[in-house]
Amino acid sequence: MSIADEPATDLTLGERSAAHLWGHFARHGDGITPPVIIRGEGMRIYDDRGRSYLDGLAGLFVVQAGHGRVELAEAAAKQAKELAFFPIWSYATPPAVELAERLAAYTPGDLNRVFFTTGGGEAVESAWKLAKQYYKLVGKPMKHKVISRAVAYHGTPQGALAITGVPALKQMFEPLTPGGFRAPNTNIYRADDDLAADPKKFGRWAADRIAEAIEFEGPETVAAVFLEPVQNAGGCFPPPPGYFERVREICDEYDVLLVSDEVICAFGRIGSMFACDDFGYVPDIITCAKGMTSGYSPIGAMIASDRLFEPFRDGTTSFPHGYTFGGHPVSAAVALANLDLFEREGLNDHVKQNAPAFRATLERLNDLPIVGDVRGEGYFYGIELVKDKATKETFSDAESERILRGFLSSALFEAGLYCRADDRGDPVVQLAPPLIAGQAEFDEIEQILRSVLTEAYTLL
């Protein structure tokens, strides 16, 4: 008997959750009980009321291979029986070694050194710490600042949060780690008309704002630029043409590290193992997590170039940083099994082949008056909602509260679609289904969105 069926209490799991479970980024209070998800199978998740939902967000941009993959569960069990835990603090374990080799083989350029963490925020934190220490070791000790983009989310540790560009998530924790500075993002939908009309010009303009920020802060003090291949928060801003080419030039010119934060975009989300390959640039560091195990066990990584590792191979210098559970053997074994599954089932090719159909299906929603923009790449899309399509007028704070939080999130779920209504920037609905999704799921997503967004418009 599962705990969900247990008659020990007449409270539902949701009510019991309200008593003790502290939800992340969640509201709590009278009448708020979270949905309780008890099972997953393929593209679908099931709650404790016996209802099923299409998983339109792969959990949280995580479950690339879909739910219920027995082989991934078995890989975890096999490794736990063999060696459940040992740290990689001056020791190594077979799965950590093999996974580091495997990730290095997938990365472009000379990104050959893998530092494991337990998740994405720790990978970002590790990348910043590495950038600071690296520049101290090579005689440029003033270099410590970081440039990132407006509205970008890079995690919650106080360093990663200082890189995050969402003021509302930071204010209550300030002062954060000093040294985080912002440049504009690549939201072409909200760019000035002359830039919006010419994506290449916009790309050049947006990249040059990074150069401007470096100049403004003083190049001798700037260590790194953190960018997602496709920025999530704000609702999926893809890079305009030429953007990353120009950013790479700028980073080289000023000796500033380019960190590709691929916590969401890696592992097939855009179509390649690492999304820098989708957009043709080679960063100095990649940060990744989420999809590495398809969520069957937690792990993250910061992958650095040979150049960055060079000062650490003299036999005495170490990177005084780590996590007990970083590179956990069970998670590493699951990641290896997950990557085997990716290869065997051709998940990345599946995304590349089906992404145009996903885009075309979502673009049908452009006929709705509340849909301002449909944007994204691969299996990663945002649909920006507006009050007035012609003027692009966005929601007021009160409307966001009423429509997004008060209506859309629960109405989409009740209609059978788990996805995300988000207003960290302008209001968007975000979609990132498991990579096994095909036309039938795209159609189901479109139909549910069409009916719920049509109703939402009547509430404005």
Ligand X SMILES: Cc1ncc(COP(=O)(O)O)c(C=O)c1O
Q: Which residues of this chain interact with ligand X, rule CB under 6 A?
A: 119-121, 124, 153-155, 228, 232, 261, 263-264, 289
Compute the distance between CA of residue 376 and CA of residue 230 in angstroms, rounded to an integer.
7
User: Based on CB atoms, which residue is closest to ligand X, 111 or 263?
Assistant: 263
Could you tell me the smallest distance in angstroms from the CB atom of residue 232 to ligand X? 5
Could you tell me the smallest distance in angstroms from the CB atom of residue 121 to ligand X? 3
User: Based on CB atoms, which residue is closest to ligand X, 151 or 336?
Assistant: 151
SS3 368: coil
Q: What is the DSSP string of 272-300?
A: SSSHHHHHT---SEEEE-GGGGTTSS--E
User: Based on CB atoms, which residue is closest to ligand X, 205 or 237?
Assistant: 237
Q: Which DSSP symbol is given to 240?
A: P
Compute the distance between CA of residue 337 and CA of residue 166 in angstroms, rounded to an integer.
35
Could you tell me the smallest distance in angstroms from the CB atom of residue 231 to ligand X? 8
Q: Which two tokens stand for residue 421?
A: 């209504």
User: Based on CB atoms, which residue is closest to ligand X, 40 or 300?
Assistant: 300
Q: What is the DSSP string of 295-348?
A: TSS--EEEEEEHHHHGGG-SSS-------TTTT-HHHHHHHHHHHHHHHHHTHH
Could you tell me the smallest distance in angstroms from the CB atom of residue 153 to ligand X? 5
**Cα–chain center distance at 260:** 11
User: Based on CB atoms, which residue is closest to ligand X, 225 or 453?
Assistant: 225
Residue nearest to ligand X (CB): 120
User: Based on CB atoms, which residue is closest to ligand X, 72 or 263?
Assistant: 263
Cβ–Cβ under 8 Å, residues 315 and 404: no
Strand partners, 54: 44, 417
Could you tell me the smallest distance in angstroms from the CB atom of residue 149 to ligand X? 11
Cβ–Cβ under 8 Å, residues 114 and 213: no
Could you tell me the smallest distance in angstroms from the CB atom of residue 307 to ligand X? 23
